[in-house]
Amino acid sequence: MRSRWTAEARSDLVRLHACLAPMNRQVAARAVQRLQSAPARLLRNNPRLGVRLGRSESREIRRLFVDDYEMRYEIQGDTIFIANLWHTRENR
């Protein structure tokens, strides 16, 4: 299984880093690194670890919590597409 990041998910990483960095640059960097490595660490061998969302038969969209962050991803064949992510305290 390989993982790919959508443009929106990459933008979310930048936004989260920008939000955390003024308080503590090292914490911001560690949070982003942890989120970036999550698909390889958690999903590569167990892609269906996250809870499935919706009832669509044609799309497999799942939600996974990584520390205090929610990550949404979609499984398509042998690829995991990271769709978006945010801190659980953010309004979504």
Q: Model confidence over 9-67: pLDDT tens digits?
A: 999 999 999 999 999 999 999 999 999 999 999 999 999 999 999 887 889 999 999 99
CATH fold group of domain 2-87: YaeB-like fold (3.30.2310)
C-alpha span between 46 and 15 (Å, rounded): 28
Tell me which residue of 73, 68, 67 sits closest to 88, measured CA to CA.
Answer: 68
Two tokens, residue 49: 């670890």
Q: Which two tokens stand for residue 48?
A: 């269906």
pLDDT per position as a tens digit, 4-23: 999 999 999 999 999 999 99
Whole-prediction pTM:
0.91
